Amino acid sequence: MLRTIAQGFLKKKTTIYDLAKKLGVSPATISRSLNDHPSISIKTKEKVLQAAKETGYRINKFASNLSLQKSNTIGVIVPRLNSDFMSTVLSGIEKIANNAGYNLIISQSLEQEAKEKFNTKTLFESGVDALLVSLANETKNYEHFATFTERKIPLLFFDRVVDLPNCPTIIIDNEAAGYQATEHLIKQGCENIIHVSSGLNRSVYKLRYSGYKKALKEFSTYNREQLVEVGNFSQAEAQKVVDYIQSSKQPVDGVFVSNDNLAVYIIKALLKAGYKIPDQIKIIGFNNDPVTQVISPELSTIDYPGYKMGKLAGQSILSHLNGSINIESADQIILKHELIIRESSQK
């Protein structure tokens, strides 16, 4: 028996073969007992359970996975872990998966297509039973997901989605949300509204933008469509927006930002630059992150139910795995969003 100087004995592991020998039965009986197979007598099962407890038997998932060709593990790829929205979604997914006895392998693409590809490959090779993805902004090619679709491993997209055959998606109606946000600003009297966004390669952002355009066309007497594109939603980008506003001939009086964080930084920068919010400039964000209620004036926004999205993503993929939903029937779940009006956009 192995031993080390500092800690005494290294606990050896027990296998079903050890238990079989100990009880004088076959390994098959041990396996069936542990899995509560109906054709094993209660008496035997009890003996096995007892012996398993005594010896500290633990199933070896490596062997079990190989035999069953499944891992009870779900892969998740997100652009980044450290965002309010994403971590909330993940929290929802984890809750559901954990309750169902599934593990979650989580990886981040950091908005890079190459990393997303790499992670997709890694997760495939780790043998995840299903994959949940929210796409990187950079991603333009979707062939790396073929390994999953070819082998009919359930693949689901949430938030940042793409329409692939037989892959369910979970989203909100981003176009309608963008439309409503813009409509709201117009109805509050804004006549020169800009839209601030990033990653227009992704449908989420493109659709919000197109909702914005649609509302302008429909409601605004002026219809001066202006997109201010930023590299990302970090504080550093806020200044670009302020610069744009300051140099605009026609004074900007409305800002629709497709991300709360950036909206908050823009508010701070605008206040610092001497603008009055909402008197001179009205502003609305997107997501309903907690930070919207911390900034002063409190930020109007679109509520995007992240936790619910996560739970649904988890449930949806689980029901695919359980076969209770036909894998062929790709579904699209559209969650309800909600316009939340706070101080930053009120007349």
Partner DNA sequence: ATTGTTTACGCAACCGATTACATAAAAATT
Partner DNA sequence: AATTTTTATGTAATCGGTTGCGTAAACAAT
Residue 39: contacted member of DNA, its own copies, none (CB under 5 to 8 Å, by partner type): DNA
Q: In what helix (H) or strand (E) does residue 104 lie, and over which residues does it extend?
A: strand 103-108
Q: Which one of 15, 107, 112, 346 is in contact with its own copies (CB under 8 A)? A: 107
Beta bridge partners of 335: 172
Least Cβ distance, residue 53 to DNA (angstroms): 14
Angle of helix 16-23 relative to helix 42-55, nearest 10 degrees, comes to 120
Give the pair of three-digit tokens for residue 26. 């076959």
Residue 220: contacted member of DNA, its own copies, none (CB under 5 to 8 Å, by partner type): none
Stretch that binds DNA, among 11-19, 96-104, 107-115, 224-232 (CB under 7 A): 11-19
Binding mask 26-65 for its own copies (x = CB under 8 A): --------------------------------xxxxxx-x
- Contacts with 61 (C-beta within 8 Å, 6 or more apart), sequence order: 71, 72
Least Cβ distance, residue 291 to its own copies (angstroms): 6
Residue 238 binds DNA (CB under 7 A) = no
- Contacts with 174 (C-beta within 8 Å, 6 or more apart), sequence order: 203, 204, 205, 207, 208, 211
Asked whether the beta carbons of 319 and 327 are under 8 A apart, the reply is: no
Binding mask 44-73 for DNA (x = CB under 7 A): x------------xxxx-xxx-xxxx----
Q: Identify which of 313, 323, 336, 302 has the alpha carbon closest to the alpha carbon of residue 74.
A: 313
Residue 71 binds its own copies (CB under 8 A) = yes
Alpha helices in 81-234 (DSSP H): 84-99, 113-125, 146-150, 174-187, 203-219
- Contacts with 156 (C-beta within 8 Å, 6 or more apart), sequence order: 130, 131, 132, 133, 167, 168, 169, 170, 313, 316, 317, 320
Question: How far apart (Å, rounded) are the C-alpha atoms in residues 304 and 166?
Answer: 25
Residue 134 binds its own copies (CB under 8 A) = no
Give the pair of three-digit tokens for residue 341. 């009006």
Binding mask 238-257 for its own copies (x = CB under 8 A): --------------------
Residue 247: contacted member of DNA, its own copies, none (CB under 5 to 8 Å, by partner type): none
Which residues contact DNA by CB under 7 A?
13, 15-17, 24-29, 31-32, 34-35, 39-44, 57-60, 62-64, 66-69
Which residues contact its own copies by CB under 8 A?
4-7, 10-11, 13, 58-63, 65-66, 69, 71-73, 80-84, 86-88, 90-91, 94-95, 98, 101, 103-108, 115, 119, 122-127, 147, 149-152, 165-166, 261, 264, 268, 290-291, 293-296, 307, 328
